[in-house]
Structure 1
Amino acid sequence: MLFCLVVAAQFPLPALQSGGFLPGSSVAHADDDDDGGGDDDDDDGGGDDDGGPGGWGGGDYRDDDRRGDIRSLFRWRWQESRRAPPRRQMRVPDRAPNEIVAIGLDETSIVSLTQSGFVIDERLQMTLTGSELVRLTIPSGMTLDAARQAVSAEAPSAAVDFNHFYQPEQETSRPCGNGRCALVRHMVGWPMEAAANTCTTSQRIGLIDTAINADHTALADARIEVVRLSDERLPRSGEQHGTAVAALLVGSPDSRAPGLLPMSELVAVDAFRRFGNVADIANVYDLVRALDLLTQRGITVINLSLTGPPNLLLKQAVSAAIGQGTILIAAAGNEGPNAKPVYPAAYEEVIAVTAVDRARNSYRRAVRGVHIDIAAPGVGVWTAASISGARQKSGTSFAAPFVTAAAVVMKASRPELTPREIEAELMQSAEDIGAPGKDAIYGWGLLNVRALCSR
């Protein structure tokens, strides 16, 4: 008996299908569908999930040979424990540890700062703001706060801030069943069949996201240009998030992940890089560059399924882009209902999109607040996996493309409308599903494109 008790304590058994445990499985919280950024491979194994647009073919079990042999279970567990200690989760910082960024430094200020020990790492003349974007490494021994104060004092009229990091809203696929992987576009009135889709347009769409698997079958016929901004010496960003968002927008209509606007052209800027194999991050310097690049090309609708802290440079770039007629749609964030607002969604001029499920309930991780503008399907959304096939995805990242697609159609049919007018029409036509009027959970309500798609 003593031996059994010791073994049970040292080698806990994984859960059985009937509610107990099975060898080789692991215990996970039922509400944890967050990917954590650690694994970019969400390939569905070459098949579709049950109930989805193409059928079921994913999933396998790799420990069948151990199910009935308790001795092999103990031996396996002992070998695993000797192999390597568990890895501690790497914390993703919210800013570069030794960099300051600025918009509007004049040459005199730059010379003075370099004489004080700052190093100019990169500088770019921007069309968007008409001024120069500069990234500086701070002097050795100086704190970031002191460095920001020093640069601000040298150039009081410049926008100066930390080089903050932003992340895509990564979410894990869940197994399908009982029709849970069917397309959800009918929730907002988007035609289900491509042949019946009057919401078609060949307009260009801007996307700032991670890398995209352009060889995915869902994107085989899509018109996609991918521009990578990060240094080629840095690890490439993963393809899971960017591929899923791209397919939602322009996926081939006869593929397993049909897009909302398959006839449109997508100009996708990969502003991200891999951080320690745990997450994809983009610094604000590259996000501002991406906005400048897309606006230079005359792209008037940009999808931003990414979140991070407030930043003076990002705010200035956002205001400048909208002032030039660009419509910016951003994910509200998955940090939780009690979290602080995240950016760029929380900027007043940006359309902040939250996510709802098929029953029109708010996504449990969606950020709430007075800045939320509109809701769209974002739970169990069927779209492309990173390598092949398709998966369902959850998060505000996958709700934003529905609003982006609606804005593209509206802009194409009524090009005279300003960003403010398009936002107002989208909000006025939304289906109120929360407290009467605008509320902190759903904004003005669920996106409604029925009138738009019947023109």
Structure 2
Amino acid sequence: MMASAQMRGGPSRELPMSHIPSIEDRGRPDGVGRPADPGANGLARAEQAQSERLSHVQRDKAEALARQYPDDYELDRNGALAIRGEVLVIGLSDKALAAAQKTGFSVVSRDVVDGLDLPMAVLSRSGWPLTKMIDRLRDIAPDSMVEADHVFSMSGAAWPMGGSGAPDANPGRAAGWRVGMIDTGSTPLPSTGARIHMVQQGFAPGGIVPHDHGTAVASIIARPALDDQANGPSGTLFAADIFGSGRRGGTAELMVRALGWMARQQVPVVNISMVGPYNGVVAAAIAVLVKRGTLIVAPVGNDGPSARLLYPASLKGVIAVTGVDTKGQLLPEASQVSRVDFAGPAVTAVRGISGRTVEMRGTSFASPVIAHHLAELLSAPDPRGARQAVQKLAGAAWKPKKGKSGLGSGIIGLAPMTSR
């Protein structure tokens, strides 16, 4: 297991200016492996502005955290939670940087995200609120992408259960499956021989810090698609901890850096069991991977009927996953949004970091089920192969006779029964 905390950026220097990928906030699975259409920018921006509005559930959570930790967080103009006093910029030229510095901005970090070839800078400006910083930088660098460093959250919860039962985790079925996860840290997974290889990398302060959420997601990814434990071939799980310790984790910047690591490892499927607001920098990073044929899988969230779009699930080409119970019925708390691609079982029990069995519930735990199944169908990033994998999985999905709406192509990972 590898544990190393990645430090921010590097010295301010002249950076190669790469093209910022065209991005859209919404799309179908047939967008996998294809860049977004750069046309219709006015309409796309109007739709994006609407999609950036948060549900009252998300606004309330953000406001509570900003009040509780005012030195760490503040809210953007949409009420989304972000790191106080820091702004992300992609494609910032030396000329624009010099103009920003004359206005009082300072460089926190500036480098090219390895694996994505995205020149990313983190800037700060003492005494200015986040919205003023963003507006000013967009004026100074109109050709750059400027965003708050939004904070993302886990899309599920855990409850202790009686006993210390065996963990519900086993090796995957597909020989040599490779899956990435961007989450919290995980405890080591049980394995038979060397059939599960887990590589962890820390990106947040504190390095790798195991948590029940990341441990559950890792366990679900490693679980075989069928109940044939004896013949589950080997697989590799690449786990990026972007939460670490403290309150500076789970950010857009760290998610982008973790995506760069996944790109360098040539991981074909990446699960991100997190939800947050729209962030153009994250969208640009994901657009790079989607164009290369990497499948990104994410949960729609747990905001129920009042839900608005959450990200990264609602980004172009991302596989959006909702959750069902053991009877194949949509979880009442699952976000009811306009686009869902697949549904997976969202109630499971795993051994937590304390050694006790915990029940995990939420769309966070449906997403890794879909990720594992896609990894059985895609051995390496490939645009055509990615589309074929999604289509093949859609053909294998099923829907219950009742309550089938909101399940996308159908349910994966839960055996169909005529009584359901």
Q: 1:166 maps to which residue?
A: 152
Q: 1:146 maps to which residue?
A: 132
User: Structure 2 counterpart of 1:99, which letter?
Assistant: E
Tell me how far 1:108 sits from its aligned partner: 1.6
Asked if 1:213 is matched to 2:187, the reply is yes
Q: Per the alignment, in what secondary structure is the counterpart of residue 273 of structure 1?
A: coil
Asked if 1:369 is matched to 2:334, the reply is no
Q: Per the alignment, in what secondary structure is the counterpart of residue 128 of structure 2?
A: coil
Q: Residue 250 of structure 1 contacts residue 261 of structure 1 at CA under 8 Å; is this kept in 2? A: no
Tell me how far 1:434 sits from its aligned partner: 6.8
Tell me how far 1:421 sits from its aligned partner: 2.8
1:208-357 matched pairs, under 5 angstroms: 208-214=182-188, 217=190, 222-232=196-206, 237-250=209-222, 263-275=234-246, 281-357=249-325
Work out the CA distance in 2 between the residues paired with 1:444 and 1:310. 24
1:345-424 matched pairs, under 5 angstroms: 345-379=313-347, 381-412=348-379, 417-424=384-391
Identical amino acids, percent of aligned pairs = 23
Q: Per the alignment, in what secondary structure is the counterpart of residue 117 of structure 2?
A: coil
Tell me how far 1:429 sits from its aligned partner: 2.8
Higher-Rg member (1/2) = 1
More displaced stretch, 302-311 vs 359-368: 359-368
Asked if 1:118 is matched to 2:105, the reply is yes
Show CA shifts across 1:312-341 (max 9, x none): 111111111100111001111122232112
Q: 2:48 maps to which residue?
A: none
Give the aligned CA root-mean-square deviation in angstroms.
Answer: 3.5
Work out the CA distance in 1 between the residues paired with 2:322 and 2:269. 18
In structure 2, the CA distance between the partners of 1:402 and 1:260, relative to structure 1 (3 Å rule), is farther
Q: Which runs of 5+ in 1 are unaligned?
A: 1-36, 38-88, 186-192, 451-455
Q: Per the alignment, in what secondary structure is the counterpart of residue 282 of structure 1?
A: coil
- Match of residue 135, structure 1, among 122, 142, 158: 122
Tell me how far 1:172 sits from its aligned partner: 1.9
Q: TM-score, normalised by structure 1?
A: 0.66
Work out the CA distance in 2 between the residues paired with 1:346 and 1:404. 16
Tell me how far 1:274 sits from its aligned partner: 3.9
Asked if 1:105 is matched to 2:92, the reply is yes
Tell me how far 1:114 sits from its aligned partner: 1.8
Q: Residue 134 of structure 2 contacts residue 147 of structure 2 at CA under 8 Å; is this kept in 1? A: yes
Work out the CA distance in 2 between the residues paired with 1:146 and 1:96. 14
Tell me how far 1:175 sits from its aligned partner: 3.5
Asked if 1:155 is matched to 2:155, the reply is no
Show CA shifts across 1:420-455 (max 9, x none): 332232223321337898x4x2112112698xxxxx
Work out the CA distance in 1 between the residues paired with 2:223 and 2:355. 13
Tell me how far 1:212 sits from its aligned partner: 1.5
Work out the CA distance in 2 between the residues paired with 1:238 and 1:344. 23
Tell me how far 1:169 sits from its aligned partner: 2.3
User: Structure 2 counterpart of 1:273, which letter?
Assistant: G
Q: Which runs of 5+ in 2 are unaligned?
A: 1-60, 62-66, 75-80, 416-420
Q: Per the alignment, in what secondary structure is the counterpart of residue 225 of structure 1?
A: strand
Q: Per the alignment, in what secondary structure is the counterpart of residue 431 of structure 1?
A: coil
In structure 2, the CA distance between the partners of 1:175 and 1:390, relative to structure 1 (3 Å rule), is closer
User: Structure 2 counterpart of 1:326, which letter?
Assistant: T
Q: Residue 250 of structure 1 contacts residue 260 of structure 1 at CA under 8 Å; is this kept in 2? A: no
Q: 2:412 maps to which residue?
A: 447
In structure 2, the CA distance between the partners of 1:397 and 1:181, relative to structure 1 (3 Å rule), is farther
Show CA shifts across 1:134-182 (max 9, x none): 11112x22221121111112221211110000011241225469xx999
Number of paired residues?
337
More displaced stretch, 237-246 vs 113-122: 237-246
In structure 2, the CA distance between the partners of 1:252 and 1:428, relative to structure 1 (3 Å rule), is closer
In structure 2, the CA distance between the partners of 1:172 and 1:325, relative to structure 1 (3 Å rule), is same
* Greater relative contact order structure (CA < 8 Å, 6+ sep): 2
